């Protein structure tokens, strides 16, 4: 009887070890998936457990314990990976900020898409910064070299480009109005302008860069989105991949999108910081999209963008 019990115990032990090995191997394969799929991955592990139980006839408790240990190890590994990645990203960001080139008049280039909710978010944050620093920085909004939000975005970006070219003093007031409503016509009207004020410039710019021609010819698209090539050379120079992308003195840099953080980030580019850098600006993150409500505290959008990777 004792010998029989020993054989039975060995049988369960061997099967448990085999099952645990199978489950751990299966879970290790999950590392090839994106984090967004982890819940689905774990659900698959549970289904796989049922298959193993049915075919190998392993005791339910032994099998469950083996699967639970495998899942716990997998989750712990994923959490550690994320923590390591966040730490590395923060270290890289700190190094980038510490080594940012300095100039007397920092050159600040903000690459956005006119209808990207995270692009409009950082633009709203920048309005107060620009009002504080005025001509102490060389600031320019530029557009990412592809448009994710259809013809509406293309036409808006053409309009904004032409406003910057023909009516530079009216551009920021226009942008402030546009960021509130998302409506081009009423925003132009507030500046005493109309569609006809920039129609010739928009037509000439469109023809020069073949923007609508490319939009209507999908074979000419470099990616899944139509090109918008007014600032293509600068996009390639800085490796711009999405909206928003901030470049200061020729260096791409990460930042939060509230006015306080943006002022601090821009002021890193001064050889000698002016007194305006000491101004206290709003630390509340603007809402994404159109309108001037502050962002939801529970929604961390500072690292979100519109782009393809």
Choose the weakest-confidence range: 9-23, 135-149, 196-210, 211-225: 9-23
Position 149 scores a pLDDT of: 96
Report whether pLDDT(9) > 90.
Answer: no
What is the number of residues in the chain? Answer: 309
Q: How far apart are the C-alpha atoms of 211 and 217, rounded to whole Å? A: 10
- Give the pLDDT mean for 79-98: 62
Confidence of residue 35 (pLDDT cuts 50, 70, 90): very low
Report whether pLDDT(74) > 90.
Answer: no
Mean per-residue pLDDT over the chain, rounded: 83
- Give the pLDDT mean for 29-55: 54
Confidence of residue 157 (pLDDT cuts 50, 70, 90): very high
Position 297 scores a pLDDT of: 42
Position 79 scores a pLDDT of: 79
Position 176 scores a pLDDT of: 97
Q: Which fold has domain 103-295?
A: Glutaredoxin (3.40.30)
Position 62 scores a pLDDT of: 72
Assigned token pair, 170: 């009216």
Report whether pLDDT(58) > 90.
Answer: no
Q: What is the 3-state secondary structure (H, E, C) of 175-230?
A: HHHHHHHCCHHHHHHCCCCCHHHHHHHHHHHHHHHCHHHHHCCHHHCCCCCCECCC
Decide the pairing of beta strands 245-248 and 107-112: antiparallel
Assigned token pair, 39: 């819940």
CATH 3.40.30.10 region(s) of the chain? Answer: 103-295
Assigned token pair, 164: 């910057």
- Burial pattern 126-155, b for ≥16 Cβ within 10 A else e, equals bbbbbebbeebbebebbbbbbbbbeeebbb
């Amino acid at each position: 009887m004792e010998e029989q019990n020993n054989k039975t115990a060995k049988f369960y032990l061997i099967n448990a070890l085999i099952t645990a090995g199978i489950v751990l191997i299966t879970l290790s394969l999950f590392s090839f998936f994106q984090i967004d799929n982890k819940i689905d991955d774990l659900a698959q592990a549970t289904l796989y457990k049922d298959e193993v139980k049915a075919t190998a006839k392993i005791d339910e408790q032994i099998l469950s314990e083996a699967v639970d240990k495998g899942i716990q190890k997998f989750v712990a590994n994923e959490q550690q990976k994320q923590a390591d990645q966040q730490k590395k990203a923060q270290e890289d960001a700190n190094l980038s900020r510490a080594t940012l080139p300095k100039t007397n008049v920092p050159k600040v280039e903000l690459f956005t898409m006119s209808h990207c909710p995270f692009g409009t978010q950082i633009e709203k944050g920048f309005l107060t910064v620009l009002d504080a620093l005025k001509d102490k920085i060389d600031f320019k909004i530029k557009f990412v070299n592809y448009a994710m939000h259809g013809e509406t975005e293309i036409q808006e970006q053409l309009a904004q480009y032409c406003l910057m070219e023909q009516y530079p003093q009216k551009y920021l007031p226009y942008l402030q109005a546009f960021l509130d409503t998302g409506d081009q016509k009423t925003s132009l009207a507030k500046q005493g302008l109309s569609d006809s004020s920039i129609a010739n410039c928009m037509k000439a710019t469109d023809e020069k860069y073949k923007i609508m021609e490319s939009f209507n010819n999908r074979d000419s698209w470099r990616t899944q989105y139509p090109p918008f090539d007014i600032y293509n050379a600068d996009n390639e120079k800085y490796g711009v991949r999405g909206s928003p992308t901030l470049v200061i003195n020729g260096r791409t840099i990460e930042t939060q999108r509230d006015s306080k953080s943006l002022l601090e980030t821009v002021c890193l580019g001064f050889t000698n910081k002016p007194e305006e850098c000491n101004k206290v600006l709003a630390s509340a993150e603007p809402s994404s999209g159109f309108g001037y409500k502050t962002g939801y505290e529970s929604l961390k959008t500072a690292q979100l963008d519109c782009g393809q990777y």
